[in-house]
Amino acid sequence: MTLRARLSQPEILIAPGVFDGLTAGLAEAAGFEAVYLSGAAVAYTRLGRPDIGLTSMTEMADTCALIRDRVALPIVIDADTGFGNALNAQRTMRAYERAGANALQVEDQTYPKRCGHLKDKSLIPLSEMAGKIRAMADARDSDETLIIARTDAIAVEGFDAAMDRAGAYLEAGADALFVEAPRSREELSTVAGRFGGRAALMANMVEGGVTPVSSAEELQALGYSLVIFPGGIVRALAKTAQDYYASLHATGSNKAFRDRMFDFGGLNDVIGTDAMLNAGKRYEGDT
């Protein structure tokens, strides 16, 4: 089933955030049907920096290619602003498709952008964003590669303007809509009431963000087709890593942390070391 077909199904699609082959493999093993490659997560993990537009298109494409080599799941990838104007957005589409992405999320912030749940965002004109969407549609190699149009207008121009922008982006050729950072359940419901049935709708759950955290079941009931949890894995791993390093520094050993980590064999089981080595033996000499 293609991602487009899956999003047309009644059951909401949950796409957890990933940032490398390990997290993607763990998500696939947990039973998820798709993953979300977050620009914020790549900034946090590869750069150790905040989500303020420091991550480049090539870093994202390289990361996507590594994830595609590890899992067969559909990959929804953060394309930020397209990393520039309409021509940059076309280049991003081509690079991401080559890297194995199945859907690109592009937003209407100025470049460099910042996390949708941070303050002081700014937007490009509606017409410019509509042009980027048309340009990306023209550049894609496959019609099955989806364009998810995101607007950050709620925090900048107000809720009504966000609705107007979302409608214009849909008319420009977006396959799905993502109205970022609704401030209440009522706003989440209004988005779904206006655009449900016209396009697949995506919701973003950020722990500590401005949108009330809702379950997939609740969002499905409102009319959403896709929900992402983009940074949860990084926040979970960062807390664990902080505790691990503090324990190692304090005790000079991993013994105190042993029950909270895989041992050597356990991690090799998770990443399939024996299966890969056995597969390699098929190519060793005349057997």
Backbone φ/ψ region at 214: left (φ over 0), alpha (ψ -120 to 50), beta: beta
- CA nearest neighbour of 260 among 279, 240, 276, 278: 240
pLDDT of residue 209: 87
pTM as predicted: 0.95
Structure tokens at 239: 């807390």
In tens, the pLDDT along 184-213 reads 999 999 999 999 989 999 999 998 889 999
As a whole-number percent, the residues of the chain with pLDDT over 70 amount to 99
Spatial contact of 136 and 104, defined as CB atoms under 8 Å apart: yes
In tens, the pLDDT along 71-117 reads 999 999 999 999 999 999 999 999 999 999 999 999 999 988 877 77
Handedness of CA 188, 191, 197, 203 (dihedral sign): negative
Band (pLDDT 50/70/90 cuts) for residue 120 is confident
Q: What is the distance between the alpha carbons of residues 14 and 8, in angstroms, rounded to a whole number?
A: 14
| Omega before residue 112 within 30° of 0, cis | yes
The set of residues, in sequence order, having a beta carbon less than 8 Å from that of 247 and lying 6+ positions away, is 254, 256, 257
- Biggest CA–CA distance in the chain, Å, is 69
Q: What is the distance between the alpha carbons of residues 181 and 187, in angstroms, rounded to a whole number?
A: 9
Three-class HEC string of 8-44: CCCCCEEEEEECCHHHHHHHHHHCCCCEEECHHHHHH
Secondary-structure breakdown of the chain: helix, strand, coil percentages, each rounded to the nearest 5: 50, 15, 35
Which helix (H) or strand (E) segment holds residue 179: the answer is strand 176-179
